[in-house]
């Protein structure tokens, strides 16, 4: 059956159910595989920088290759049983690679913690979804961190896997998820992963290059529906490169402009300040409702992407 229809099914299931904690997630399996492979690869290759680079390259080949192989084999076996079973599994895979509802759920926990608890509760909640140190953040900085996470993950967690699945089917979407998982686990520029994780980080940058830019542009278009679309486009084109990552600031810039906020700036990571340029203009002070607004903008962007890259092709090729 048409993989566009499976993607539509998966998207709708994700909106309805999100990621239930009782259900094993493919990312857990990818994380387990990465954790098991890392020590062995480090032992096989020399401890030199060059050896660590090659170990990281092999990690990428094994994780992406096994993910694609297992996904494709599962779909093929299901197809031997019945096409309907294959379609159902395709829909489930597409559901599992998307994170529209879970992004809203996890980020809104920050707001709930601030409303029903203390600032420390808010700091703890936001520490679950960001990599920066949160112990000394003010409430405004906690909220900004949550908004930034929603904006960035609108691309990484929703639009990018959606686009890869639309163009390459469930196997492509799952392989992208494997790349993104590797980057989140080993793609750091610290002493441990500077060389071992370089291949994963570079591949993640390549896989997100077009999706990040498409996501940012679509977010600007979506902002025209309920937010300040003109400012979204202005800040997007002005600040979309204000990040050390070549891809992270595109949706952050569009979101900052749409909501009239200033994001980015210097923050502590593992006790050390990391200087980053600001994104957007401080038109107004950030408030708790902005986390919900950012999620609404992310959802509108995802719906627009589904219309362009899934529903329209479905109607054309069905």
Q: Which domain holds residue 9?
A: 3-317
Q: Which two tokens stand for residue 134?
A: 């949160």
pLDDT of residue 270: 67
Q: What is the pLDDT of residues 1-38, one digit of tens each?
A: 589 999 999 999 999 999 988 888 899 999 999 999 99
- Give CA–CA dist 291/153, Å, rounded: 13
CB 178 within 8 Å of CB 34? no
Q: 89 to each of 71, 144, 192, 308, 318, how far by Cα in Å?
A: 10, 38, 38, 24, 19
Spans in the chain with pLDDT lower than 50: none
Q: pTM above the 0.85 mark?
A: yes
Number of domains in the chain: 1
């Amino acid at each position: 059956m048409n993989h566009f229809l499976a993607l539509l099914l998966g998207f709708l299931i994700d909106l309805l159910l999100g990621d239930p904690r009782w259900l094993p997630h493919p990312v857990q399996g990818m994380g387990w595989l990465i954790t098991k492979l890392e020590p062995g690869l480090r032992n096989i290759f020399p401890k030199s920088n060059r050896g660590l680079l090659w170990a990281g390259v092999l990690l990428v080949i094994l994780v992406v290759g096994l993910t694609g192989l297992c996904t494709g084999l599962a779909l093929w076996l299901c197809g031997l049983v019945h096409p309907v079973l294959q379609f159902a599994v395709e829909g489930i895979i597409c559901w599992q690679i998307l994170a529209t509802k879970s992004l809203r759920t996890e980020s809104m926990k920050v707001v709930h913690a601030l409303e029903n608890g203390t600032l420390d509760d808010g700091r703890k909640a936001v520490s679950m979804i960001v990599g920066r140190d949160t112990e000394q953040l003010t409430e405004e900085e906690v909220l900004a961190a949550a908004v930034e996470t929603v904006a960035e993950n609108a691309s990484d967690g929703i639009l990018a896997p959606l686009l890869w699945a639309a163009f390459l089917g469930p196997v492509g979407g799952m392989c992208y998820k494997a790349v993104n998982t590797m980057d989140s686990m080993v793609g750091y520029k610290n002493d441990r992963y500077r060389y071992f994780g370089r291949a994963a980080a570079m591949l993640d940058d390549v896989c997100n290059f077009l999706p990040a830019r498409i996501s940012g542009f679509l977010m600007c278009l979506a902002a025209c529906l309920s937010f300040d679309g003109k400012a979204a486009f202005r800040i997007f084109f002005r600040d979309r490169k204000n990040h050390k990552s070549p891809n992270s600031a595109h949706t952050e810039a569009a979101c900052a402009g749409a909501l009239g906020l200033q994001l980015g700036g210097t923050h502590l990571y593992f006790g050390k300040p990391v200087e980053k340029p600001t994104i957007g203009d401080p038109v107004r002070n950030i408030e708790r409702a902005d986390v919900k607004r950012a999620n609404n903008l992310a959802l509108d962007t995802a719906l627009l992407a589904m219309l362009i890259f899934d529903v329209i092709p479905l109607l054309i090729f069905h």
